[in-house]
Amino acid sequence: AYVGRISQELQSCEHPALKRVFAWDLAQIAGMLDFVHALTTPEQKATVEAVIHAYQQEVVPRLPELPRAVVQNDANDHNVIIAPDGEVAGVIDWGDMIYTQRANEIAISMAYIMLDKEDPLAAGAQLYAGFVSAAPLLPVERASLRILTACRLAMSLTMGAFSYSQNPGNEYLLITAEPAWKALRILWTSPPEDFDSAIEQAAAQFN
């Protein structure tokens, strides 16, 4: 729910510097085609290309209907500060902020929460439930969410592989590679109906 509250607060945020072209903006996912050659297996390359194709075919036509807003663009467990009582005290690392599709915020958070989980869909659904309790989504945003989440996983996997190809001694670049690939493979090979059912059930139980 905390990231959802941040999303709500950012609705009123405006600054011309945030209206920029930025590689980590999900709206720039097609740019990953320039880097897929760095992926290590044909399956990874085919999956990332399929995700990009789905974005172009299904999400791009909806762009005029998808609300735009400033997003933090990198809300994940490494950027969350936890207070001694276990509650979330804040979020750091705001350097990726951008004005883009509002639904990208929850998609990015869901992608990260799916990493290293036995059941990535269930983990993502739990985050979804908390987020929408504070920042409800429009139907068109919900309809785009599975692909947007896959886009972030595909982007992380591709950029990590490319960066490692340029600097093969930096093992840090591979930290999220295997977890991201596992989550993306499960998300993308599962029927879309499974994703929809998971988030709907989680939201209903949360409320």
**Weakly modelled stretches of the chain, pLDDT under 70:** none
The whole-number pLDDT of residue 203 equals 95
The whole-number pLDDT of residue 135 equals 96
Report yes or no on whether pTM surpasses 0.85: yes
State the DSSP code for 14: -
Helices (H), the chain: 2-10, 42-54, 104-113, 120-134, 139-166, 177-189, 192-206
The whole-number pLDDT of residue 127 equals 96
The whole-number pLDDT of residue 92 equals 87
The whole-number pLDDT of residue 104 equals 98
Q: How far apart (Å, rounded) are the C-alpha atoms in residues 33 and 16?
A: 28
Span between the terminal Cα atoms of the chain, in Å = 12
